[in-house]
Amino acid sequence: MTKDEQTNSHAALTDDNHKALWSGRFAEGPDASAVEFETSIYVDERMALDDIAGSIAHATMLGECGIISAEESKQIVKGLESIKNDLKNGSLKIDYSAEDIHSFIEASLTDRIGEAGKKLHTGRSRNDQIALDEGLYLRRVIPSLVQDIITLIKTLVEIASQHKETLLTGFTHLQHAQPGTLAQHLLAWATMLSRDVERLKDSLKRISLSPLGSGALMGSTLPLNRERTAELLGFDSVTLNSLDSVSDRDYCLEFTSDFAILQSHLSRMCEEVVLWSTVEFGFIDLREKWSTGSSIMPQKKNPDFAELIRGRTGKVYGDLINLFTMIKALPLAYDRDLQEDKEPLFDALDTVQANVKIFTAMIATARWNVERMEKRCAFLERAIKKMNLSNVRVRCAQVSTLEANSFDMLVLRAFHPFTEQIAHLLLSITRQGGTIVAYKARAERIQEEMQGVSKAIPSYTKIPLTVPFLEDHERNLVVI
């Protein structure tokens, strides 16, 4: 079998440079099906540049400490730089017969510079190497997700600024409750997302220490300078406990939890978009390029993209449960189970980042049916115009139990046919010394105590709302 045939079948290569890093212990190589089963390179190939960055720092430190010669250190660094450039320009392809991305990089390096390439692994284990690579990768890509969320926040704020006076019914229990504005509703979405930004930034703080130098689990007897590699890689300092350093996957749980919460927000927002796009609501009209049709019902215009974002929520939740289940009951330190951390972590990240981008494009081009929203809000508007609830002093009668149906609603029937809804607007309940006090409207007193006519929108919806979010790692306030 040729090398190309072996590569295509994902069998173990016989070339010494491409054997597994642990192969010296065994007289025979692994079975091809075993290699296929245990390899991770299909998943961890995305960390190639991070692996190279960590290796450059490690080789630099080894040379500075005299563990390898300065010349060997320079050779290794130069070789790694050439691999990085070739991966970027596409002239070097990932060899999927390699066990993982670490093995591929080291084998490629040895192919290029010879025996000196094998010295890169001096004082390092793949256990601390993968912990480093994952930290570097997350530190590199999370700011991009944060920026995408900020772009969505800005989009919502821009739409809100155009609809500060656009009436929109507020719902509780999905029933008409109180009138508000479209701006306030969109800013509620933006506020959810601002918390997602804060969570992600906070999670980055806990991957600010370098695990490199922890070795397999007990460090190294070589005079490594861990602080130097941490400095070269931009970490704040080094981790304190080598056992924990190679077995810690809290950051996988934490970031995936952040992704799951972000996804829950997107799902809630998409649910409202789906509802609002129906004939029954008619509040939003999604552009055709962000809708699909039916193969049998030509009149249909379906909000499929909102539904797909909503539908992928279970996928992200599943990734989080996958990680929690994997971590459960693992003894210290490293166990091969931990190889399985990357797929759910990366899947959750990819899913939410794609969802944020799609939702941003979809909502930015949507049309809002202002007339329809205000018409659906009309019954509450007319009622509040007739009764200024904030100024009505309703006489109270103390009762031992609350019997909502006993309230006198005669006066309300004169104002609007939706007596039950308006009655709830007038009802206020409070506790005083354990006694329930019910405030009962009395027809003979209400007209005397009404102070003018209220505006169409309750005063609290006029209060400027601030939406905190981060841009270029600085806090800004957008006021609507």
* Options 173, 295, 400, 473, the catalytic residue: 173
CB-based contacts of 137, cutoff 8 Å, min separation 6: 46, 47, 50
Q: What is the SS3 assignment for 464?
A: coil
With 0-12 CB in 10 A as exposed, 13-18 as middle and 19+ as buried, what is 123?
Answer: buried
* Options 9, 69, 237, 294, the catalytic residue: 294
| Angle subtended at Cα 368 by Cα 367 and Cα 373, rounded to the nearest 5 degrees | 160
| Angle subtended at Cα 121 by Cα 120 and Cα 127, rounded to the nearest 5 degrees | 140
Judge contact between 41 and 104, C-beta under 8 A: yes
The CA-atom distances, in angstroms, between 208 and each of 42, 123, 211, 220, 311 are: 27, 22, 10, 22, 34
CA distance 277 to 39: 46
Write the Ramachandran bin of 12: left for phi over 0, alpha for psi from -120 to 50, otherwise beta. Answer: beta
Judge contact between 128 and 214, C-beta under 8 A: yes
With 0-12 CB in 10 A as exposed, 13-18 as middle and 19+ as buried, what is 61?
Answer: buried
With CA atoms as reference, report the closest residue to 61 among 140, 135, 132.
Answer: 132
Half-sphere exposure of 109 (CA within 13 A, CB side): 30
CA distance 293 to 137: 40
**Known catalytic membership, residue 144:** no
Radius of gyration of the chain (CA): 31
Burial call 392-421: b when 16+ CB within 10 Å, e when fewer: beeeeeeeeeeeeeebeeebbeeebebbeb
**Known catalytic membership, residue 102:** no
The pair phi, psi for residue 338, each rounded to 5°, is: -65, -15
* Helix runs in 3-124, H state only: 3-8, 32-38, 41-44, 48-64, 70-89, 101-113
Kindly list the catalytic residues.
173, 294
